[in-house]
A = this chain, B = another copy of it.
Amino acid sequence: MPNSNIQLDDNGRLRHFLSIEGLDQAILTEILDTAGSFTSVADRTIKKVPILRGKTVANLFFEASTRTRSTFELAEQRLSADILSLNVDTSATVKGESLLDTLQNLEAMQIDMFVIRHQDSGSAHFFAQHVRPGVSVLNAGDGQHEHPTQAMLDMYTIRHYKRDFSGLRVAIVGDILHSRVARSQIHALNLLNTAEVRVIAPRTLMPVAVESLGVSIYDDLEKGLADVDVVIMLRLQRERMRGALLPSEKEYFRKFGLSQERLQRASPDAIVMHPGPANRGVEIESSVMDGKQSVILQQVSFGISVRMAVMSMIVGQSGLSSGPQPGGDA
């Protein structure tokens, strides 16, 4: 499988982070364990380690983002990297330079790591295929393909609250068809040996042959939620409404929105997750989002640790164990 090769170096260690597909359980577990050591960094008074000191990270966001971009930038600062964040709309692409030329020019600036979000599926792989030895690429979301750091922060959140994947029932609810987040989550949950992964969606938003990914399929929310331990709601892209795939927001909420009442179907200690930004009252009721089972804001916090973990593994340092003592950074 080409994915597995390009993401790992000859010693099987992480070089790029492009997709969950193509990685194995050991790597995923190492990411989660490493992130754990960085979570304590976030709680320290001084939130800073020198793992990327003197390294340069370029953030290339061709799509707008607050959450993902901000957490990447904070992760990079906390690892002491030099940071180049490009507003791609006003960059050289305006003057008609091709994406590959832009990449090669940035690479010539001795960038060590690219974080790229792009509207085209496969764009992160394209970058990874063209960078020089020693340069790494992280996928911050490519089209409808994958969003692997989001999936790993979701896995971190699940493990934090539920410890072990082997006994868990996890439901992913919403626009499975167009969601790069869902694709990455399904791969990750299966690699981590989750007992059952359910996808719940209207038929118009369900991919063809989705069962081949190793999931159970439901088009009825209440049945699908029965006894699950984790509920992951997806954001409903409002433009789907215009595309005639969906009748109306109100109708969508009536059939697939997560209400307090429906959440009763799940296990009593089920957690509720959402990658954000959520549409309150469309895919999720406000009271659920702010309720005691919601771990949506914790996901955001863990996102910084997970991104620090992936970047530190790529430069060859597994978190704090091989780093300096707290407060002892330059």
Contacts and interface: CB of A to CB of B under 8 A. Distances in A.
A92 B330 CA distance: 34
Contact of A70 (B73, B84, B95, B277): B84
Given A48-B53, A54-B45, A82-B78, A276 B110 contact: no
Contact of A108 (B77, B298, B329): B298
Contact of A105 (B44, B54, B73, B276): B276
Given A45-B54, A54-B48, A74-B82, A301 B108 contact: yes
A25 interface: no
Interface in A66-123: 66-67, 70-71, 73-74, 77-78, 82-84, 86, 90-92, 94-98, 101-102, 104-110
What DSSP secondary structure best describes chain A's contact surface?
mixed
Interface string A35-66: 00000001011111000011110000000101
A300 interface: yes
A195 interface: no
A259 interface: no
B329 A105 contact: no
A98 B107 CA distance: 38
A112 to B, nearest CB: 9
A278 interface: yes
A53 B46 CA distance: 7
A67 to B, nearest CB: 6
24 contacts: A45-B54, A46-B53, A46-B54, A47-B110, A48-B82, A64-B91, A64-B94, A64-B95, A66-B86, A66-B91, A70-B106, A73-B84, A74-B84, A78-B82, A96-B238, A97-B277, A101-B280, A105-B276, A105-B277, A105-B300, A107-B297, A108-B299, A109-B301, A109-B303
